[in-house]
Chains A and B, each alone.
Chain A
Amino acid sequence: MINLVPSQDRSKADEPEPGTVNGLIQARIDGRIGRRELIRRAAALGIAAPVVGVMLHATSDLAFGAPNPARAAAQTEGTIPANAPTEPTGAPQEGGVLTTGTIEEPDTLNPYVTQLVTATDILTGIMDPLMRYDSTQQLRPALAEGFEISPDGLTYTFRLRQGVTFHNGDAFGAQDVIDSWKMIMNPDFGAFDQQGWEKIVDITSPDPTTVVMTTKEVYAPFLSYVGGSTYISPVKELAKGPQAFKQEFGRAPVGTGPMTFVEWLPKQQIVVEKFPGYWGEAAKLDRVIVRILPDDNTQLVQLRTGEIQMAAGSGSISATRVDEALGLEGIALLEHPTLGWSHLDLKHVDFLRATKVRQALDFATPSKDIIEKLLKGRALPSVADQAPGTWAFNPNIQPRPYDPEQAKTLLAEVGLTPGEEGVLQGKVPTTDPNVLDGEVKPFEMEIWGLAGDSQTQQIVQVIAQSWNAIGVKTSPQFQDVSTIWGPEGYQFNEKMTACLYSWFNSNDPDVMFYWHSSQIPDSPTGTGGNLPAYFNQYNFQAEIDRLTAAGAAETDQEKRKQIYFQIQELLHQEVPVIFVYWGKAYPAVTTKLGGFWPSAYNRMLWNVQEWYLTQ
């Protein structure tokens, strides 16, 4: 979204980088560059002539009024850290309707088959899990009032809350939990998410308010997955059978949450309203309407016109558009860290198998500049796979500085020397990954990134440039997400490749999925997240296998923490992937909404019963 008000009327602090179509248009509107300069820079960026024409037209003085440097600079408020519920100054009003805008339509509202966060953003207000994460990463009781773990760590006993009713009037009890588990594990149903539940060998209920789950092994993330993120469906709906339950419940979910489902108009909106029979304190708002919008352009326009009063959850404002959202009247922009880590996969083939080569590429990656200049500080530095601010995060590791000289030295140490046109070349390792003794190859790489995402494209270009500068010939490749992860994806050809993308951690620090050898796909259509090791396992595979498995099996949090600290040190030392940054989220909300407290640990409507509007 282009801000049509010249920058003199906005904050001077954050001017958009004129390296994109929108950035150039903005720079022209702001009067920072002239017409001729716009054409020159557009040509340099390879923008097609008709588009340049449109850009010139869009920025002509006739279109939006000439920039006026004499206008006084208006003070724009910055973003507000979301470390407590919002507290507007006005008096709270009874009831009210809040309209929020999401930019992705849920696929289905069936909690066990949805793949999209935008669905759980809504479901979390309709359905309850046994326990719920608050915004400080603490598990709080929900449908379970408490739990006990047996001394051997294999049996979990949940005491269920009494007097809870589903929106269909049925009473909640142990059978709902048991039947939900059976549905999740039913192969004819095809659940998307069985994590934790697949560890259960048996569930019994000695009485209607107690469930006892027996697991096949000690599994530390169990409470986080089974207790904290899986929603319980009513027996009556589950009894319809796998196909009917999948289809019908997915269009009209029934839960025990503070909001009941009202309607879903495809590509228009989803409406939920207050459930008076909620087991906790009933919701203050009458209704929440989730408008389904096609993209963040429309979203910003509607925030501006007041057609929506909120953009949160998966529909939060992206880091690159924060400046535009900051200027909106009556809208506060919150910020909080996320559990998403942006990184460069380094496929373990040829030179990339050698630790020093990977360290060299880390030295040659200007992560600090990427965060400060490209992302304007709207991200956090990254050294490993645990999010800053979470309990498993190791604060003692320093990121490698950007140091191309150091990188060149390391590459020379392993025997890579400049060849034709300055591109490094040398022998590739054969048996020992750190000994380069095979055939001679030039150091040529591809970096893959997500097509259509301007932020990714800029970052990939910057990294390719700095790697080229140390003699690693690097060419960017942009593909859509299904291609990247499909059988034709980068990870399944033997070229040296890096790929920039983000993984999203869950609330538990378990990271076996990313690094353990059991998570190496056995074929291009196989499952698993340990992609860099598809052709060759890591040279530290045995150690990371041992550590990640130990972390998942250790239930003492202090001991677990030490294990994850060690994993982070090992990852920082070995650089199996280059850690670039941790993303931040920017929910936008009307300054009249109270009780709103978003975080990385829960979804949009997690505490919707506490939300209120002021007059």
Chain B
Amino acid sequence: MLRYTVRRLLGAVPLLLGVAVISFVIMQLAPGGPDALFARNGRMSQEQLDAIRRNMGLDRPVHEQLLVWLGNLAQGDLGTSYSQFRPVTAVIWDVFPNTVLLMAAGLGLSLVFSLAFGILAARRQYGFVDNLTSFVSYFGLAMPVFWFGLMLQLLFAVRLGWLPSAGKYAAQGGGDVWDLLKHLVLPAFTIAIGSIAAWSRYVRSSTLEEAGQDYVRTARAKGVRERQVVAGHVLRNALIPLVTVVGIDVPLYLTGAVLTETIFSWPGMGRLFFDSLTTRDYPVLMGTLVLGAVLIILGNLVADILYGLLDPRIKYG
């Protein structure tokens, strides 16, 4: 298992290099640049603009810029933000924990609700609960995130006034865990709704499939209690396909959070990425893209390792 993990991690290095080079090239292909706005500013002379370009390293040829950037990356240096004039690591670190928090909350909600809905639905196929959760799932899948988010905001923040409309903490008097939770509820549900809908379908179908297997009949025939049959036998096997789906979806939380973070003014990576895109802040963009790639690779690796733990038949050598 250890050898397998190390091999996978080493294999990720050329992959990351590829991601870095491709994103760098795509960024250079986009029209405009980080200095486009400077040139059309009445307060900027040609000498000043040249000095700024020199400071940013934009006066060098593109391939040289890429090599310098890769060289710094190898030393763990992501460069300096063009717009904020401070290290990219500091810029990202400011918001990264917030995104992880939102991801974790969304993931937790998704797992709890999709497992609950999936198992409830599978207990009686085509029964009332099954049809109801089916309906809710299709609704959740079909609904655009931004619309659902806005509706939650309108209902709970504007109409009912139960929850704050946006942000991570209240402007003043906040800052404690309770305040944080209140701010977290709506964005976490918004980000989770799609996964709850999709994952509960997976849980339902794999539970139904496992429930019809011989070993389940055997377990029941032995007189094992129903609760034990569902939790200990059916569920454990039904979870394996879910692990794959979750492993693939988790990194999407990171990138797909742009809309949710924007609607709820959540101070996370999605907003950072979007803001940096509009200002063509290449170092920050490259930093977030590489971090995203690392997380996707890690997510897949963790999912693969979890297989081995859940299913003894799968062995990595």
Contacts and interface: CB of A to CB of B under 8 A. Distances in A.
Interface in A523-545: 525-529, 531
Given A190-B55, A266-B94, A307-B171, A298 B263 contact: yes
A305 B165 contact: yes
Nearest to A54: B147
A481 B171 CA distance: 32
Given A305-B158, A485-B32, A298 B265 contact: yes
A187 B49 CA distance: 10
B36 interface: yes
Interface string A484-496: 1111110000000
B260 to A, nearest CB: 11
Nearest to A503: B42
A486 B31 contact: yes
Interface string B32-58: 111111111111111111011001000
B48 A298 contact: no
A522 B39 CA distance: 11
Contact of A108 (B42, B84, B170, B271): B84
A110 B86 CA distance: 12
Nearest to B49: A527
A291 B265 CA distance: 10
Interface in A251-282: 251, 265-269
A307 to B, nearest CB: 6
B84 A294 contact: no
Nearest to B269: A267
A198 B262 contact: no
A299 to B, nearest CB: 9
B43 A307 contact: no
A528 to B, nearest CB: 8
Contact of B39 (A54, A190, A526): A526
Contact of B265 (A99, A193, A293, A305): A293
Contact of B86 (A115, A250, A308): A250
B218 interface: no
Contact of A105 (B266, B268, B275): B275
Contact of B161 (A57, A113, A305, A531): A305
Contacts of A302: 165-166
Interface residues of A, number: 69
Contacts of A250: 84-86
B172 A97 contact: yes
B59 to A, nearest CB: 10
Contacts of A115: 37-38, 41, 83
Interface residues of B, number: 62
B262 A305 contact: no
A583 B171 CA distance: 31
A193 B32 CA distance: 21
B106 interface: no
A486 B29 CA distance: 12
Residue from B32, B47, B51, B263 with most neighbouring chain A CB atoms (10 Å): B32
B265 A294 contact: yes
B35 A525 contact: yes
B291 to A, nearest CB: 16
Interface in A376-430: none
A190 B52 contact: yes
A195 interface: yes
Contacts of A293: 166, 265
Contacts of B263: 294, 297-298
Contacts of B32: 480-486, 488-489
Given A194-B43, A250-B85, A265 B267 contact: yes
Shortest 7 CB-CB contacts between residues of A and residues of B? A482-B32, A486-B32, A267-B267, A486-B36, A513-B42, A488-B31, A266-B94
Interface of B: 30-49, 51-52, 55, 83-86, 91, 94-95, 98, 144, 147, 150, 153-154, 157-158, 161, 164-172, 261-268, 271-272, 275, 278-280
12 contacts: A108-B85, A113-B85, A192-B52, A193-B43, A289-B172, A298-B166, A301-B154, A305-B164, A480-B32, A482-B36, A482-B37, A484-B32
Given A192-B43, A268-B167, A482-B34, 4 more contacts: A195-B43, A301-B166, A482-B33, A485-B37
